[in-house]
A and B are shown apart, each in its own frame.
Chain A
Amino acid sequence: MKRFPRSTIATTVAGAAAFALILTGCSAGAGSEQATNAKVKLTVATFNEFGYDSLFKEYEAANPNVTIVNKKAATSNEARDNLTTRLAAGSGLSDVEAIEVDWLPELLQYSDQFADLSSADVKGRWLDWKTKAATDATGRLIAYGTDIGPEGVCYRSDLFKAAGLPTDRAEVAKLLGTTWDSYYAAGAKFKAAGTNVPWFDSAGATWQGVVNQIPNAYEKKDGTVIATENPAVKKAYTSVLAASSTLSAHLAQWSDDWTKSFQNNGFATQLCPGWMLGVISGNAAGVTGWDIADTFPGGGGNWGGSYLTVPNQSKHQAEAKKLAAWLTAPEQQLKAFASKGTFPSQVDALSSDKLLGSTNAFFNNAPTGQILANRAAAIDVTPFKGVKYFPINDAMQQALTRVESGTMSADQSWNQWVADVKALG
Chain B
Amino acid sequence: MTTAAAEVKARSIRRITLSHRLSRWDVRFSPYLYISPFFILFTVMGLFPLLYTAWVSVHDWNLIGGQGDFVGLKNFATVLAQPYFWTSLRNTFSIFLLSSVPQVLAAIAIAAVLDFNLRGKTFWRMGVLLPYVVAPVAVALIFNDLFGDRYGLINSGIMSLGLEPIRWHVDVIPSHLAIATMVNFRWTGYNALIFLAAMQAVPRDYYEAAIIDGANRLRTFWSITVPLLRPIIIFVILTSTIGGLQIFDEARMFDNVGQGGANRQWQTLTLYIYELGWGQRNFGRASAVAWLLFLIIIIIAILNFVITRRIAGSADRKLRIRAKGIS
Which residues does A use to contact B, with CB under 8 Å? 74-75, 77-78, 81, 84-85, 87-88, 106, 109-110, 113, 251-252, 254-257, 260-261, 264, 391, 394, 398-399, 401-402, 405-408, 416, 419, 423-425
Contacts and interface: CB of A to CB of B under 8 A. Distances in A.
Contact of A407 (B64, B262, B282): B262
Interface string B246-281: 000000000111110011010000000000001111
Contacts of B145: 256
Contacts of A106: 281
Nearest to A88: B63
B65 interface: yes
Contacts of A398: 257, 259, 262-263
B170 A419 contact: no
11 contacts: A109-B65, A110-B65, A252-B169, A254-B256, A255-B256, A256-B145, A256-B151, A398-B262, A405-B169, A405-B262, A407-B262
A255 B151 contact: no
Contacts of B255: 252, 255-256
Most B CB contacts (10 A, CB to CB) among A74, A77, A109, A405 go to A405
A113 B64 contact: yes
Contacts of B125: none
B256 A75 contact: yes
A405 B170 contact: yes
B273 to A, nearest CB: 13
Given A252-B255, A405-B170, A425-B78, 6 more contacts: A88-B64, A252-B169, A252-B256, A256-B148, A261-B151, A407-B170
A86 to B, nearest CB: 10
B64 A87 contact: yes
Contacts of B149: 257
B256 A406 contact: no
B62 to A, nearest CB: 9
B151 A260 contact: yes
Contacts of B256: 74-75, 252, 254-256
Which 5 pairs, one residue from A and one from B, show the smallest C-beta to C-beta distance? A401-B262, A398-B262, A260-B151, A405-B170, A257-B150
B167 interface: yes
B144 interface: yes
B154 to A, nearest CB: 13
A261 B263 contact: no
B116 to A, nearest CB: 32
Contact of A391 (B262, B265, B279): B279
A423 B151 contact: no
Contacts of B167: 405
B278 to A, nearest CB: 5
Interface in B120-149: 144-145, 148-149
A112 B145 CA distance: 43
Given A405-B262, A407-B263, A85 B144 contact: no
Nearest to B281: A84
A257 B278 contact: no
A402 B259 CA distance: 13
Contacts of A261: 150-151
B3 interface: no
Contact of B82 (A81, A257, A394, A423): A423
A406 B257 contact: no
